[in-house]
Amino acid sequence: MTTQNSAGGPFSGVRVLEVADEKGQWCGKLLADLGADVIKIEPPGGESTRTVGPFYQDSFGPERSLSFWHYNTSKRGVTLDLASEDGRGLFRKLAAGADVVVETLAPGCMASLGLGYDDLKALNPRIIVCSITPFGQTGPWRDYLTSDLLHLSVGGQMGSCGYDDVPDAPPIAPGGGQAWHMGGHYACMAITAALIHRGNTGAGQYVDVSVHESCALTTEGAMASWIYNGKTMIRQTGRHAGVAPTAPTQTLCKDGKYVNIQLLAFRLSPAQVRQLGEWMDRYGMAGDLLDDKYQDTAVIQEQADHISEAVRSFINNMTRDEVYEGAQEMGFSWGAVRAHDELPDDGQLNDRGFWVQVEHPDLGETFTYPGPAAIWSDSPWGISRRAPRIGEHNEEILCGELGLSRAELSVLAESGVV
């Protein structure tokens, strides 16, 4: 395990102001762990996402949300009441020196506070303002209320996910807060494109991201299936939805766990059938797959169901990891269906330095956090600090940078501005 430092990330030197709940905190984290100086602006008392579980040691508290910890690494935190003129004034001062603002308030809300793109542009022509909202700033549904579940419903995810072998099962929305991830990924793309554009031209701009559209774009070929072929999707257990039923891929192993296999038996080459047969033979379960008749493509195609059945029955009698690792060593892209708690023991993740140690000095503890999707050779990813405590950097930023005296900060705190 390694502790990485984000000092050299690709966004080093980029200052981001984040006024965001669950819709924008992932975007902010992705930028912060890649080196951006993200200042999270929270209402006095803390952002609403601090009260989302799970909680540290299962006991509630705004400084104990593991969800907040996860989504707010590498950021600094300042509290400002944007409903007060004092708070707005301080926000304007921060915006004058910022590169990017990420905000997730309801459409029009920032403008009604006098903090819309046009207001901020007047202070800082180079600023990039990115709004991430459920439906974007325009359109008939723009004011509708949503949630992660609701986005996966209307965005099309549930239309493709579910069961074909469980009676009365509903369409299923996969977990993990994916709607916010999808919106965050597109927001990061758009913000980075805007930063490059600013590097080329000097001009900032306004970015309007729709979570609904981001989700609607994230169902692989489903949209094209309708547009080009007029086909809707059939939900199938543990595998791709199809325009027509396809063979199961999720297969039960003898230890009660599942492996995801891609076995299009009719496409196997004679060499692959031989390979499978030899593998199965090591456990005395080759059946007739080593028979020379399978060295003929025509026979393989004709006997595809039989071959599938033989392999499935072999898998049923093996442990999941025997199947996963054995198949991968032979070049089959099969995957073990793993629970979250199995990931910390994964050798490959450990070899890649995936897990990082993050200090929580206030708790006197160091915890293991999930790390980066990629290794960057010249601008390393890293978690520079744990999520900020409420108002943790008020003095550092409001006094240290904006020049408030500690007495002024105290007065503002007294009246609930910070």
CB 347, min distance to another protein, A: 5
Q: List C-alpha distances in Å: 276 to 272, 316, 335, 360.
A: 6, 15, 16, 50
- In the block, tokens 């912060």 appear at 32
CB 304, min distance to another protein, A: 18
Which residues 233-272 are close enough to bind another protein by CB under 8 A? Answer: 233, 235-244, 249-250, 252, 258-260, 262
CB 399, min distance to another protein, A: 29
CB 388, min distance to another protein, A: 16
Answer for which of 92, 93, 231, 274 binds another protein (CB under 8 A) is 231
The DSSP letter of residue 15 is E
Residue 172's Cβ-side half-sphere holds a number of Cα atoms within 13 Å equal to: 17
Give the span between the Cα atoms of 318 and 255, in whole angstroms: 8
Q: Which stretch binds another protein (CB under 8 A): 82-90, 93-101, 367-375, 408-416?
A: 367-375
Q: Which stretch binds another protein (CB under 8 A): 97-105, 276-284, 340-348, 407-415?
A: 340-348
Which residues 138-157 are close enough to bind another protein by CB under 8 A? Answer: 138-142, 144-151, 153-157
The DSSP letter of residue 232 is P
Choice between 249 and 394, CB closer to another protein: 249
CB 298, min distance to another protein, A: 21
Give the span between the Cα atoms of 213 and 203, in whole angstroms: 26
Binding-residue pattern over the window 59 to 88 for another protein, x denoting contact by CB under 8 A? -------xx-xxx-----------------
Which residues 90-149 are close enough to bind another protein by CB under 8 A? Answer: 117, 135-136, 138-142, 144-149
Radius of gyration of the chain (CA): 26
- Based on the residue annotation, tell me whether 197 is a catalytic residue of this protein: no
Identified catalytic residue from 70, 181, 197, 240: 240
End-to-end CA distance of the chain: 38
Choice between 94 and 259, CB closer to another protein: 259
Size of the site for another protein (CB under 8 A): 155
Give the span between the Cα atoms of 223 and 240, in whole angstroms: 14
CB 285, min distance to another protein, A: 22
Which residues 191-220 are close enough to bind another protein by CB under 8 A? Answer: 192-197, 199-201, 203-210, 212-214, 216-220
The DSSP letter of residue 329 is H
| CA 303 to centroid of chain Cα atoms | 42
Give the span between the Cα atoms of 90 and 113, in whole angstroms: 13
The DSSP letter of residue 395 is I
Instruction: Give the DSSP H/E element, type plus range, for residue 369.
Output: strand 365-369
Give the span between the Cα atoms of 370 and 341, in whole angstroms: 12
Which residues 172-191 are close enough to bind another protein by CB under 8 A? Answer: 172-178, 181-183, 185-190
Choice between 214 and 394, CB closer to another protein: 214
Which residues 314-333 are close enough to bind another protein by CB under 8 A? Answer: 328, 331, 333
Burial class of residue 337 (count of CB atoms within 10 Å of its CB; 0-12, 13-18, 19+): middle
CB 155, min distance to another protein, A: 7
Q: Are strands 37-42 and 258-260 parallel, antiparallel or unpaired?
A: unpaired
- In the block, tokens 């758009």 appear at 190
CB 152, min distance to another protein, A: 8
Which residues 294-313 are close enough to bind another protein by CB under 8 A? Answer: none
The answer to whether residue 22 forms part of the interface with another protein (CB under 8 A) is yes
Choice between 96 and 375, CB closer to another protein: 375
Answer for which of 378, 403, 407, 414 binds another protein (CB under 8 A) is 378
| CB 114 within 8 Å of CB 72 | no
Give the span between the Cα atoms of 225 and 232, in whole angstroms: 7
| CA 354 to centroid of chain Cα atoms | 15
Choice between 104 and 303, CB closer to another protein: 104
Choice between 56 and 114, CB closer to another protein: 56
Instruction: Report the catalytic residues.
Output: 240
